Amino acid sequence: MATRTISQEAFEELVKENVDDLGMDPMEALQDAIQTLTLQGVDLSGIVTSVPGDTNPVIDCLDRLKNLQSEPDDDELVIAFNTLHELCSNPNPNANSNAAIATRNGAVELVFSFIPRATGSRALLLSALNALSTLLHDVQSTGTFQRCDGPTIVIGFLADNKQDVEILSSGFRVVASAATGDEIVKESFMELKVDELVLEILSLHKNEGIQSLYDAVRALLTPDDNRVVASQVYGYARKFAKIGIAEALVDSLSAGLCSPDLVPACTTLKVIAVNDEICKSIAEKGGVDAVLRCINDSAEQGNKAVAKVCCSLLSKLAGSDMNKSEIVGKGGMAKLMILSSRFSDDPSVLQEVMSIISVLCLRSPENAARAVEAGAGELAVQAMKKFPAAHQMQRNSCLMIRNLVVRNPENRTTLLLNGIEKYIRKAKGTHSNCKDAATDALRDLGLDNYNL
């Protein structure tokens, strides 16, 4: 069903009628209008809902920019763009509603009207890009960005400023915002060879922590536009891998925990690793070695963030059966057990360890046997006992248990003697997301009443 909308003028007229015809005071009239329209299913995003006569900081900022169109002043423009950016970004508590008001009142078009002038001023360019990145929040705003030839303009700025980390950071924030949820914008960036530009900048700025570059790649490779039936991002990921970006990201991992690129490189490699061929190629370039090293280092240094993203990436790479053998052959099970011991009080890490062990044991009785020998069964028992409220960890534990025993009947006795059944049943009865996984685990443990 289509969302009902209302114009700013109609909203203000309704508030005015409440005051003039019903005798309400301004605040009461405003609240009544908002409540009435909300109950009617009217979308009020982008509507200025302030008491009549009050000024709105977003509208004031846009008016200032409009006035500067006739007599532009670079310093004043920088101040205005910075103000707009602050209003529409975190930690401003009204950031989302401010961005909606701004874009509904022509903010994106306003920014682009000053783009020709911004080419001659670094400070103005930075402030304009920063403002633009916070304005692009929905398909209407990204659609306006597309109509203003935004992809071409932003790629041009990035290509012309490859040595300027600050402009690159601001520019890639725009790419990330514009590509999020918009398949058409993603396609435009890919047609402009953004993948080749990313690779070049990764080579020029190794381990300099340009977080927004990684955000942009993930946005381009995420199928998040619900208007399209079949996203093209799978093909885009293959293009990124084909030109060598996976290898460049592995280099970032090889720098270890001292690199500011480590965590974003891991999360970005994960979205690029979309098929068996790419997973194997990442391993061939040293990806498995690098991840295992980082897992080992994260255990030694107690770095939870690195531990979690590395386990998550390793789970993806282990989707290739060839990589499973390499991970286990290089002591992966032992490293994972050490990691689980180091973070035994953190279920968010334990659930990632369980996830990778599940993948390693899938269709591999040899790996399941080695996992139990390494202590995976004891990990499941102790973790499920210690963290009964950690629903995702409980579910991952059930999934791991199933893969430990489904082709290894000898592992069933070990786990059952350790009391795993009662913890699985408790998880099944407590957490709705555990029901199916727990049922499967109980069945594959050989229990007849697994459906109870």
Count Cβ atoms within 10 A of the Cβ of residue 368 and give its class: 0-12 exposed, 13-18 middle, 19 or more buried: buried
CA distances from 31 to 34, 303, 365 (A): 5, 48, 64
pLDDT at 207: 84
pLDDT at 54: 81
pLDDT in tens, 122-153: 999 999 999 999 999 999 999 999 999 999 99
The average pLDDT across 362-388 equals 97
Quickly state the pLDDT bin for 4 (edges 50, 70, 90). confident
With H, G, I as helix, E, B as strand and everything else as coil, classify residue 231.
coil
pLDDT at 216: 98
Structure tokens at 47: 């509507």
Structure tokens at 54: 């009050």
Say what percent of the chain tops pLDDT 70. 100
Helices and strands, counts by H and E, the chain: 29, 2
pLDDT in tens, 32-61: 888 988 888 888 888 888 887 788 999 999
Q: Rounded to whole angstroms, how far apart are CA atoms 97 and 84? A: 13
Spans of all domains in the chain:
4-43, 55-135, 155-243, 244-327, 331-452
Q: Rounded to whole angstroms, how far apart are CA atoms 83 and 77? A: 10
Q: Are 83 and 44 in contact (CB under 8 A)?
A: no
pLDDT at 18: 86
Which residue did the predictor score with more confidence, 448 or 113? 113
**Taking 50 as the threshold, does the pLDDT of residue 1 lie above it?**
no
Q: Across all residues in the chain, what is the average pLDDT?
A: 94
Q: Are 393 and 353 in contact (CB under 8 A)?
A: no
Please, which residues have CB within 8 angstroms of residue 364's CB and are 6 or more apart in sequence?
321, 324, 407
